[in-house]
Amino acid sequence: MTKLNQVLIIGGLIRFLIPTLLPQVVPILSSINEISTPINSFKSLQEAFYYFANGIELYDGGINHHPPVLVILLSFVNDLGYPVLSNIIFNLIYTLCDIYITYRLIALNQWYHDQWSSKSGSNKYNDDLIASFYLFNPLIIVTNLSHSTLVFSVLFIIETLHQLLVIKNLPRSMIALSIASYLSYTPVWLVIPLLALMQVTNPDVPKVEIYGRNFGFFLMGLMLFIIMSFLITASWQFFYQCYGTIFLFNKIQPNIGLWWYIFTEMFEFFTPFYIGVFNLYSIIFIFPITLRFTNDGVFAFILSLIWLSFTKSYPTIGDLGYILSILPIFKSSFLNYCKFSIVYIILLIICLILSPIFYYCWIVLGNGNSNFFYSINLIWGVIYLFIMMDLIWAKLTLDYIMDNDIKDKEQIDKLRLTQL
């Protein structure tokens, strides 16, 4: 039994056995607002199943924000044997999703190592370590146990990367990205770094053909889903409920993100302004990141992922979790030059401890107020920013070393770069 298989089995068993033996774990975790938001919660999915089974319009109520195709495909599972058997099958589905993601991460790790072993020394984390970074990441375990549909989104984003980089099948990666952006609105902006990545990995294909053809695939995939959703629900309500809620910030339940506080505590006069600014803020940085960092391909994509998670309308701790699990792939390159990772690791632990405490103080005990909880949200955002800063600086250091071909280890250690 190889180490990898052991890790996979233990990770799978955690995700399968805990909700099967303790079924109350799922609704409890689903109600914690750091873990699942109204947009991707499993409870609203179950509500959607009920609506669907009883012929009620899925998007009439304002609870369901899952896209119609997802609801219908998963309602087949629900119909199999509600409640016990379907819950077990859902546990199985989520377990298999995570194991699938693990395999893809291992493949990506291998690809990245193959790319880089020519340039620098070959050190990478072993397969089982990468798998354990993902499967034993508590943020991801908790997200998976709460059965939030973020897992499906993540699955398709990783699949996009995998198809593009490892298998080199561009249309499939675009289809995967269209599925991911159909499931939640945010990955749609990843098409920009992805197209740039395609250009970089296939330098011999003319630009227009790459961009045009693949963007066409992406649009076709997205249109297929949207038109089919329209046909299934016979109205455009789903568009407003699934995507309009996200970019119009319709739900202002507290979450681990940065924006809910602005909408609850600031004057309503400013709400349209804030909606515009926050959406623009989310989008506008993708372009410069892509332009600057595409030479190395994946880095732009990873930075865009981090940025989009940072400025997401309804983030969860799972977003940070899966970014942290992707980062070990880059051990052989710039991760060595990250200078202050201890800072944001400690910040992460502090946030995870304080956030539920302050929420409890605010909502249950009533002796705190929303400012307590929001301060932790701000620190959570700072973690993202620290990660970005660290990664960018590490990358620039690496670029400098590569460009000037500095091989001497002592020189590298003494290197102090400054920005001009």
Partner 1 sequence: MRLPISVLLLSIWAILFTTSYAEEQEESKAGEPSFISTEDASHIISKSKHTNNWAVLVSTSRFWFNYRHMANVLSLYRTVKRLGIPDSQIILMLSDDVACNPRNAFPGTVFNNMDQAIDLYGESVEVDYRGYEVTVENFIRLLTDRWDPDHPRSKRLLTDQNSNIFIYLTGHGGNEFLKFQDAEEIGSYDIADAFEQMYEKKRYNEIFFMIDTCQANTMYERFYSPNILAVGSSRLDESSYSHHSDMDIGVAVIDRFTYFTLDYLEKIDKDSQETIDKLFDVYTFENVHSNPGIRTDLFHRNVSEVLLTDFFGNVQNVVVNDGDEDLLYISNHDKTGELLKFYDEEPEEQISEGIVNSTNIKTSYQIDFGVENEESSDQIIQVSPTLAKRLGLGTGLVVIGLWFVST
**How far apart are the two ends of the chain, measured CA to CA in Å?**
53
Q: Which is nearer to partner 1, 227 or 385 (CB)?
A: 227
Max intra-chain CA distance, the chain: 70
The secondary element (H helix, E strand) that includes residue 41 is none
We find the least distance from the C-beta atom of residue 52 to partner 1, in angstroms, to be 6
- Residue with smaller CB distance to partner 1, 213 or 292: 213
Q: Which CB sits closer to partner 1, 223 or 349?
A: 223
Interface residues with partner 1 (CB under 8 A)?
52-53, 55, 57, 60, 68-69, 71-73, 75-76, 169, 171-172, 175, 179, 216-217, 220-221, 223-225, 227-228, 231-237
Contact in structure between 298 and 77 (CB atoms under 8 Å):
no
Nearer CB in complex with partner 1: 5/169: 169
Judged by beta carbon, residue 225 or residue 322, the one nearer partner 1 is: 225
Shortest reach from residue 237's CB to partner 1, in Å: 5
CB of 228 to partner 1, least distance (A): 4
CB-wise, 174 or 190, nearer to partner 1? 174
H-run or E-run covering 187: none
User: By the 8 A CB rule, do 321 and 143 touch?
Assistant: yes
Per-residue HEC secondary structure of 118-153 comes to CCCCCCCCCHHHHHHHHHCCHHHHHHHHCCCCHHHH
DSSP string of 14-33, one letter each residue:
HHHHHHHH-TTHHHHHHH-T
234-255: b (≥16 Cβ within 10 Å) or e: eeebbeebbbbbbeebbbbebb
Return the ∠ at Cα 113 (arms to 107 and 118), rounded to 5°. Answer: 145
Q: How far is the CB of 178 from partner 1 (least distance, A)?
A: 9
Contact criterion met (CB below 8 Å) for 280 and 336: no
- Candidates 123, 154, 115, 122; CA nearest to 137 is 154
| CB neighbour class for 106 (10 Å; exposed up to 12, middle 13-18, buried from 19) | buried
Minimum distance of partner 1 from residue 347's CB (angstroms): 40
Cα separation, 408 vs 358, whole angstroms: 49
- The nearer residue to partner 1, 248 or 252, going by C-beta atoms, is 248
Q: Between residues 72 and 396, which has the closer beta carbon with respect to partner 1?
A: 72
Tell me the closest approach of the beta carbon of residue 196 to partner 1, in angstroms.
21
Cα separation, 117 vs 121, whole angstroms: 6
Q: Give the shortest CB-166-to-partner 1 separation in angstroms.
A: 15
Cβ at position 420, least distance to partner 1 in Å: 46
